[in-house]
Amino acid sequence: MPAPWSLPRWRAYVAAAVLCYINLLNYMNWFVIAGVLLDVQKFFQISDSNAGLLQTVFIGCLLLSAPVFGYLGDRHSRKATLSFGILLWSGAGLSSSFISPKYSWLFFLSRGVMGTGTASYSTIAPTVLGDLFVKDQRTRVLAIFYIFIPVGSGLGYVLGSAVAELTGNWRWALRIMPCLEAVALILLILLVPDPPRGAAEKQGEKAVGTLRSSWCEDVRYLGRNWSFVWSTLGVTSMAFVTGALGFWAPKFLFEARVIHGWQVPDFQEPGSSQDSLIFGTLTVVTGIVGVILGAEAARRYKKVNPRAEPLICASSLLATAPCLYLALVLAPTTLLASYVFLALGELLLSCNWAVVADILLSVVVPRCQGTAEALQITVGHILGDAGSPYLTGLISSALRARRLDSYLQRFLSLQQSFLCCAFVIVLGGGCFLLTALHLERDQAQAQAQAQSQQPDTGTLDSKDMESKGLLSGISASTEDP
């Protein structure tokens, strides 16, 4: 008989700290190239249009490989898969710093390999945390874990530009990161356990082996899990807005200052480092505060309402919409108010990042949580931030083509194209309201399947539950106020 599985609480917190540190490095890798982009373009003789492909290749490879790593993470050692991902992205980053300017295509290929390695961590790491902590502890730990998304993004830009300025060579920015990642790999191997699926709820019990299922069965199960489906669509709306803001907000702020006469217009390169720095600082600060507020609000409200998590997500998104709208329409009149509402909108948007991860882990059975994370990442990027910058620019260009060629009309076209973000974020709020309708039932079914280790990957029917004596417990859970 297998021995009971247990882990001292201090070891779980040490493992969580290591995973948070690696998440910081993970998102620094996303944006370290942005800090040295002009140097990279000059070195490889890359045009602006081709430079944009660097991030496209990175995200494209991440999307293609995320389902693969989700499948592996549900069926094989998650620790080994994470280690492989770190070796992959750090090795690709280090080798890319030695590429000759004659072989720019190799540099693009290395960015794709880094995206592939990154997919392993983004997909699997949250599921490991979900198996180390439960309930309030898991909510707090996930909040800290997701804080490092905005912090890592900002530090990646800062590290890249600072190292290039200090050393006079942009390639050293790519050589310092693997040193930090080598430390992360050693810490992962030594300090992070590989708990059984669903281990947090079963500490002290026998570590029963999880039943295997095919990838298609897992996908069918997730397609019938309405809490997962609607929350994934809500996450997609969040990704759509953050993608559009991240790409176009610095230019929008620059053109707003031109309209107010605070900036001389520059038709050759519309944007400035000052606007990027302001928006980046807002993103980091509001991201940290928002993630903490959202997780703490969910933890407290859940004590009186079991549907607290999707309701908080819905409320924050529905409140984000008017903030974004006011930030856009007030920009030509009062730029200070525009900054205030933009910061408030980003704050409300950031409240959801840890909460949506907690929703996924609570409604999906442990044996396919990696696949669920992968599908949520893939759908969120494909329908969200992969297309929103292009769609926003397309609408702006279409509006500008019908107007006089003036700087004011250029600004108004971009301003009005941004309004689609307010509409999309309202749809996201509606998706989380629909999630709240199904949450308790899906949580009870996920818990029942995890405890009974049923081979059926679909929704449990009433006969199955009655035969196992589970129906009354689920009904009581659903009726609990």
Instruction: Please indicate, yes or no, whether residues 277 and 420 belong to a single structural domain of this protein.
Output: yes
What pLDDT does 458 receive?
Answer: 43
What pLDDT does 152 receive?
Answer: 82
Does residue 208 surpass a pLDDT of 60?
no
Does residue 284 surpass a pLDDT of 50?
yes
Residue 199 is given by DSSP the state -
Burial 313-324 (b: 16+ CB within 10 A, else e): bbbbbbbbbebb
> When comparing pLDDT for 246 and 184, which is higher?
184
User: Which of 35-49, 116-130, 335-349, 393-407 has the weakest average pLDDT?
Assistant: 35-49
Tell me whether residue 475 is in a domain.
no
**Where is the domain boundary, 150, 181, 196?**
196
Number of domains, the chain:
2
Phi-psi region of 2 (alpha: psi -120 to 50; beta: other; left: phi over 0): beta
Tell me whether residue 406 is in a domain.
yes
Identify the band that residue 82 occupies on the pLDDT scale cut at 50, 70 and 90: very high
What pLDDT does 244 receive?
Answer: 82
Does residue 313 surpass a pLDDT of 90?
yes
Instruction: Please indicate, yes or no, whether residues 190 and 231 belong to a single structural domain of this protein.
Output: no
Does residue 281 surpass a pLDDT of 60?
yes
User: Which of 112-116, 239-243, 428-432 has the weakest average pLDDT?
Assistant: 239-243
Does residue 457 surpass a pLDDT of 80?
no
Burial 239-256 (b: 16+ CB within 10 A, else e): bbbbbbbbbbbbbbbbbb
Instruction: Please indicate, yes or no, whether residues 347 and 387 belong to a single structural domain of this protein.
Output: yes
What pLDDT does 73 receive?
Answer: 80
| Per-residue pLDDT reduced to its tens digit, 420-447 | 889 999 999 999 999 999 999 998 988 8
Identify the band that residue 39 occupies on the pLDDT scale cut at 50, 70 and 90: confident
Q: How many CB atoms lie within 10 A of CB 186?
A: 11
H/E stretch holding 15 reads: helix 9-35
Instruction: Please indicate, yes or no, whether residues 224 and 135 belong to a single structural domain of this protein.
Output: no
Instruction: Please indicate, yes or no, whether residues 116 and 262 belong to a single structural domain of this protein.
Output: no
What pLDDT does 156 receive?
Answer: 79
Instruction: Please indicate, yes or no, whether residues 153 and 257 belong to a single structural domain of this protein.
Output: no
Q: Which of 262-271, 384-393, 422-431 has the highest mean pLDDT?
A: 422-431
User: Which of 67-71, 77-81, 104-108, 139-143 has the weakest average pLDDT?
Assistant: 139-143
What is the pLDDT averaged over residues 412-424? 87
Tell me whether residue 2 is in a domain.
no
What pLDDT does 211 receive?
Answer: 53
Instruction: Please indicate, yes or no, whether residues 185 and 316 belong to a single structural domain of this protein.
Output: no
Does residue 266 surpass a pLDDT of 70?
no
Instruction: Please indicate, yes or no, whether residues 150 and 279 belong to a single structural domain of this protein.
Output: no
Distance from C-alpha of 108 to C-alpha of 122, rounded to nearest angstrom: 21
Does residue 477 surpass a pLDDT of 60?
no
Tell me whether residue 22 is in a domain.
yes
> When comparing pLDDT for 233 and 197, which is higher?
233
Tell me whether residue 190 is in a domain.
yes
Does residue 267 surpass a pLDDT of 60?
no
What pLDDT does 242 receive?
Answer: 85
Instruction: Please indicate, yes or no, whether residues 76 and 162 belong to a single structural domain of this protein.
Output: yes
Instruction: Please indicate, yes or no, whether residues 331 and 263 belong to a single structural domain of this protein.
Output: yes
**Where is the domain boundary, 196, 227, 246?**
196
Instruction: Please indicate, yes or no, whether residues 231 and 184 belong to a single structural domain of this protein.
Output: no
Domain span including residue 135: 9-196
Tell me whether residue 353 is in a domain.
yes
The CATH number assigned to the domain holding 78 equals 1.20.1250.20
What pLDDT does 452 receive?
Answer: 63
What is the pLDDT averaged over residues 33-62? 75
pTM for the structure as a whole: 0.72
Tell me whether residue 189 is in a domain.
yes
What pLDDT does 453 receive?
Answer: 52
User: Which of 46-55, 161-170, 328-337, 428-437 has the weakest average pLDDT?
Assistant: 46-55
Given the structure tokens 């549900």, which residue do they identify? 74
Does residue 269 surpass a pLDDT of 70?
no
Identify the band that residue 48 occupies on the pLDDT scale cut at 50, 70 and 90: low
What is the pLDDT averaged over residues 295-319? 91
Identify the band that residue 274 occupies on the pLDDT scale cut at 50, 70 and 90: low
Quick one: which of 322, 317, 351, 324 has its CA closest to 429? Answer: 317
What pLDDT does 202 receive?
Answer: 54
Tell me whether residue 83 is in a domain.
yes
| Per-residue pLDDT reduced to its tens digit, 339-348 | 899 999 989 9
Instruction: Please indicate, yes or no, whether residues 176 and 274 belong to a single structural domain of this protein.
Output: no
User: Which of 100-109, 356-365, 398-407, 426-435 has the weakest average pLDDT?
Assistant: 398-407
DSSP characters for 278-338? HHHHHHHHHHHHHHHHHHHHHHHHTTT-TTHHHHHHHHHHHHHHHHHHHHHHTTTT-HHHH
